[in-house]
């Protein structure tokens, strides 16, 4: 979380949660575990230590379905809370990180996390979903004291064809803050507003930012405070 907040200090809350889930969510961790080679073990046999392998799939068929809905007390079995395969593999990955922290300490587990989680490319710009981009851009410019955004037609091609392309730029004063293209001027204008909003929200202060946890090991270590933004625009 601190890496995302320091790298992209202007991210909206919903996008921040989506990015966090994409990095450390159950599906992401389960996929990572499968890449590590984690597989599901089957029901242990007599020659296998039952304390280590407890995974069992429910066999298909009507009898299995009837048994599943029958109370466990009537079946004469001990009740155990089962977990889904994806949840079990994700739990293994989080336990691995916990084991590295327990045996090696905070700095090694940070490095381990960077190598296996943060090293994965995440297209944060694909996580945005603007409902009213032009209105949100106007509110943003008003809040920040910028000149009101103005859409201007930049160019076009194939106006009389079946696939015309229009290019529209959004300007705040003399500065172009966004550009978009589309099959109509309205579509290009909306895309230009989205491009301008993404340019604002995806601002990153520096390639290498100092995280607040940097001072956990050495309180005297040089630290550059992170950028704190006023927050997203509420429309």
Per-residue pLDDT of the chain (235 residues; tens, 9 = 90+): 888 988 899 999 999 999 999 999 999 999 999 999 887 765 556 665 555 555 556 666 665 555 554 555 555 555 556 677 888 889 999 999 999 999 998 889 989 999 999 999 999 999 999 999 999 999 999 999 999 999 999 999 988 899 999 999 999 999 999 999 999 999 999 999 999 999 999 998 876 778 888 887 778 878 788 788 888 888 7
Please tell me the predicted confidence (pLDDT) of residue 107. 87
- Residue 154's φ and ψ, nearest 5 degrees, are -100, -45
Q: What's residue 205's pLDDT?
A: 84
The full set of domains in the chain, from first to last, is: 2-125 (1.10.1520.10), 130-201 (3.30.160.20)
Distance, in Å, from the CA atom of 230 to the CA atom of 215, rounded to the nearest integer, reads 25
Length in residues, the chain:
235
Indicate the pTM of the whole model. Answer: 0.79
Q: What local confidence, expressed as pLDDT, does residue 14 receive?
A: 93
90 CB burial (10 A radius; 0-12, 13-18, 19+): buried
- CA dist 77 and 79 (Å) reads 6
pLDDT of residue 48: 56
What whole-number distance in Å separates Cα of residue 78 and Cα of residue 71? 11
Q: What confidence score (pLDDT) does residue 232 get?
A: 86
**CA-CA distance, 55 to 38, in Å (whole number)?**
13
Give the pLDDT confidence score for residue 58 in this predicted structure: 60
Q: What is the pLDDT of residue 117?
A: 93
């Amino acid at each position: 979380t601190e890496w995302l907040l320091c790298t992209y200090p202007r991210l909206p809350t919903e996008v921040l949660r989506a990015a966090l889930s994409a990095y450390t969510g159950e599906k992401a961790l389960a996929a990572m575990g499968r890449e590590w080679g984690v597989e599901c073990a089957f029901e242990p046999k007599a020659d296998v230590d039952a304390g280590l392998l407890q995974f069992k799939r429910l066999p298909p068929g009507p009898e299995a379905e009837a048994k599943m809905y029958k109370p466990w007390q009537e079946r004469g079995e001990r009740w155990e809370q089962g977990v889904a395969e994806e949840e079990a593999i994700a739990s293994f990955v989080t336990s691995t990180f916990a084991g590295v922290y327990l045996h090696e300490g905070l700095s090694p587990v940070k490095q381990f996390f960077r190598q296996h989680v943060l090293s994965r490319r995440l297209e944060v710009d694909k996580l945005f979903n603007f409902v009213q981009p032009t209105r949100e851009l106007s509110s943003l410019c008003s809040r920040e004291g910028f000149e009101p955004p103005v859409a201007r037609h930049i160019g076009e091609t194939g106006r009389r064809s079946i696939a015309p392309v229009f290019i529209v730029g959004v300007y705040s004063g003399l500065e172009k803050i966004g550009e978009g293209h589309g099959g109509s001027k309205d579509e290009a204008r909306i895309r230009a507003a989205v491009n301008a909003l993404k340019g604002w929200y995806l601002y990153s202060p520096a390639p290498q930012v100092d995280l607040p946890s940097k001072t956990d090991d050495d309180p005297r270590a040089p630290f550059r405070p992170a950028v704190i933004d006023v927050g997203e625009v509420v429309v």
